[in-house]
Amino acid sequence: MSEPRVAETLRVPDAPVAETGVYLDSSALAKLYVPEPESDALEEFLRGRRDLLISELGITEVLSAVARRRREGVLTVVQAFDIRDAVLADADSGSLRRLDMSPRVHREAERLLFQLDSVAMRTLDALHVALALLNAATHVVTFDTRMRAAALQAGLRTLDLQAPR
């Protein structure tokens, strides 16, 4: 696990400040720390951007997945704690705008759950979409099909960074 931390990858001197906000859900955030087929494309897209949004919810979901992989024996204890430390250090670095949950986010998620009838929106998807909407995100990066559908239905644009099949 000698890969550079996300904060090191994202900090590019004199990178232009974009006019958009790009929200990374937990499926995207996880790929920055646990290599998967889409990880390289995602890292390339994110390099130099200063308009990236992540949430406390996403951080917790990623760390839950890391802990699960440790329990399953996919990651060693050392690898899991190294990933945890990197996620938290990157979240604290200022390279990513970190969004908090609040009652307002919950009310927006609840509104979405009742309003968007054409998508079987899950609770966590509704919370991620609400966070993106309330924080002026224009795009969502997700690798989850249902989350993508929920974001599109709510009026957000999504970025397709799927690995070629």
pLDDT in tens, 44-53: 999 889 899 9
Cβ(63)–Cβ(86) under 8 Å? no
Domain assignment present for 1? no
User: Contact 144/30 with Cβ under 8 angstroms?
Assistant: no
Look at 88 and 35; give whichever has higher pLDDT. Answer: 88
CATH code of the domain in which 62 resides: 3.40.50.1010
**164 in a structural domain:** no
Q: Do 97 and 131 meet the contact criterion of CB atoms below 8 Å apart?
A: no
State how many domains the chain has. 1
| Residue range(s) defining the domain that contains residue 112 | 6-159
At 21, the pLDDT band (50, 70, 90 cuts) reads very high
What digits encode the pLDDT tens for the residues 80-113? 999 999 999 999 998 899 999 999 999 999 999 9
Nearest to 141 by CA among 56, 38, 4: 38
Residue 165 lies in a domain: no
pTM: 0.84
From 143, 153, 82, select the one nearest 120 (Cα to Cα): 153
Where is pLDDT greater, at 160 or 53?
53
Dist. CA 142–CA 125, nearest whole Å: 10
In a domain, 39, yes or no: yes
User: Does 42 map to a domain?
Assistant: yes
Pairing of β 139-141 and β 97-99:
unpaired
Ramachandran region, residue 14 (left: φ > 0; alpha: ψ -120 to 50; beta: rest): left
Q: Is residue 41 in some structural domain?
A: yes
Tell me, yes or no, whether 78 lies in a domain.
yes
53 lies in a domain? yes
